[in-house]
Amino acid sequence: MPVKLVFLGKLADLAGVPTLDVAAPLDWAGLIAALPGPLGEAVQGDRVKLAVGGTVLADKTALDALDGNEVALLPPVSGG
């Protein structure tokens, strides 16, 4: 099974799709390589976080996603 990327907020606009399957395992370098241009740049920004399987990573560069994991790409939030 692949790793499923889920793009939230403006990252979904940049990706052009809400989700994207990429090969497992997936580390930080692999993620950036899989995301071309502005999307990859945005994801490297300080204010974008990653969650794997519903847990937010304290250090996104420590990404280590396995077969079947869902990786959410979380830009700055805005609610209320």
Partner 1 sequence: MAREVRLSEVAFDPAALTAAFAAAHPGHGALASFVGQVRGDDAVKALELSHYGPLTLAGMEALADQALARFDLLGLLIVHRVGEMRPGESIVLVAAAARHRRAAIEAVDYAMDHLKSDAWFWKRERRGGEWRWIEPRAEDHADLARWR
When asked if residue 77 is in the footprint of partner 1 (CB under 8 A), the reply is yes
Q: Which helix (H) or strand (E) holds 73?
A: strand 70-74
Q: Does 57 interact with partner 1 (rule: CB under 8 A)?
A: no
> Could you say which residues in the range 7-46 bind partner 1, by CB under 8 A?
8-10, 13
Residue 66 touches partner 1, criterion: CB under 8 A: no
Q: Give the three-class secondary structure for 21.
A: strand
Instruction: Detail the DSSP E strand segments found in 8-68.
Output: 19-22, 26-27, 49-52, 55-56, 64-65
Site for partner 1, rule CB under 8 A: 6, 8-10, 13, 51, 53-54, 56, 70, 72, 74-80
